[in-house]
């Protein structure tokens, strides 16, 4: 480990433990800033370099061949402050479930569904996370985003974020969420706790446990009222496996790292899922998981089929 500008820098760092899927080769350089100021310093220093942003590592597949570009890990950006009784400003690296607990302590409702999500708050905003009638777009007021190309910081209001189904302006234009501000509603503590318990129970019953490494939902649902997991289950996908990657026996839209899976194992299994649904039902599934790092030729060809550019 070395430091640059007093910012922690790790060389040839294995990224498996930085992701919920527990897959990934080495990063040539991994920087771990402690605050927004350090991120800006890094961006200034590395302004001619391609940067990969890594948060809590959910909803991503890191290449088993590693990442040649510089990686900035945002997991230490976890400060928050209440601007008034119902408004909170939160940095992007904080874990989503932790935000839900903080709001419960203040009897604030609107983000209860985050309790069961292992990713970062920044990722939740970027992907416009939602569940059971609650969504990021319902309560977000604004977000500060860093343009990774120009190093400019923008304050984007709700409409400017262009939040849609599992996407946003931020992702499409390669920005990094630095923090976000949410307007919540006061509610009874017990009612908020009950909703959080519902989300936890639902996930425990229907999703693979976090002790089974996974990256969350693999593909978006192809149409309103049409669920990818249900389509795959109807085709008997619970028995599908490629190398060390397998489809969860609890939910067919989840891939688990069953036995030292590689990024190619996961990619091949995703290809089988995608091709089977297209052949059987005519839907062209779009990946909810994002691939980062250096792909093999086979992986590059596979991911071209179900990635939105």
Q: Tokens 């100021």 correspond to what residue? A: 37
Report the length, in residues, of the chain. Answer: 309
Cβ(229)–Cβ(161) below 8 Å: no
Is 166 known to be catalytic?
Answer: yes
Q: Which helix (H) or strand (E) holds 233?
A: helix 228-234
Is 64 known to be catalytic?
Answer: no
Which residue is catalytic, options 70, 109, 144, 166? 166
Round to whole Å and give the CA distance between 19 and 30.
14
Cβ(60)–Cβ(307) below 8 Å: no
Cβ(92)–Cβ(74) below 8 Å: yes
Is 70 known to be catalytic?
Answer: no
Tally of CA atoms within 13 A in the half-sphere of 164 that contains its CB? 8
**Closest residue by Cα to residue 116 from 182, 23, 185, 20:** 20
Which residue is catalytic, options 64, 109, 217, 263? 217
Which residue is catalytic, options 13, 144, 288, 299? 288
- Return the active site residues: 166, 217, 288
């Amino acid at each position: 480990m070395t430091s640059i500008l007093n910012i922690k820098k790790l060389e040839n760092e294995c990224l498996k433990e930085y992701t919920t899927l527990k897959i990934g080769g080495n990063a040539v350089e991994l920087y771990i800033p402690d605050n927004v100021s350090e991120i800006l310093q890094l961006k200034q220093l590395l302004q001619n370099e391609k940067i990969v942003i890594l948060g809590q590592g959910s909803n991503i597949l890191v290449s088993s061949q590693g990442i040649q570009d510089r990686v900035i890990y945002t997991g230490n950006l976890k400060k928050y402050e209440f601007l008034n009784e119902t408004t909170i400003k939160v940095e992007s690296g904080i874990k989503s479930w932790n935000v839900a607990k903080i709001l419960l302590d203040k009897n604030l409702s609107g983000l209860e569904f985050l309790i069961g999500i292992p990713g970062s708050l920044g990722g939740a905003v970027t992907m416009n996370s939602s569940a059971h009638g609650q969504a990021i777009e319902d309560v977000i007021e604004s977000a500060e985003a860093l343009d990774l190309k120009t190093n400019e910081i923008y304050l984007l209001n709700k409409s400017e974020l262009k939040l849609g189904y599992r996407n946003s302006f931020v992702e499409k234009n390669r920005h990094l969420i630095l923090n976000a501000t949410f307007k919540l509603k006061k509610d009874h503590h017990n009612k908020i706790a009950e909703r959080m318990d519902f989300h936890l129970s639902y996930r425990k019953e229907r999703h693979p446990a976090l002790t089974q490494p996974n990256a969350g939902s693999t593909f978006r649902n192809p149409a309103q009222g049409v669920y990818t997991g249900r389509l795959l289950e109807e085709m008997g996908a619970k028995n599908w496996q490629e190398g060390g990657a397998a489809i969860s026996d609890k939910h067919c839209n989840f891939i688990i790292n069953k036995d030292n899976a590689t990024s190619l194992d996961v990619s091949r299994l995703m290809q089988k899922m995608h091709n089977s649904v297209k052949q059987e039902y005519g839907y062209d599934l779009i990946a909810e998981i994002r691939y980062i790092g250096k792909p093999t030729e086979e992986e590059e060809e596979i991911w071209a089929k179900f990635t939105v550019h």
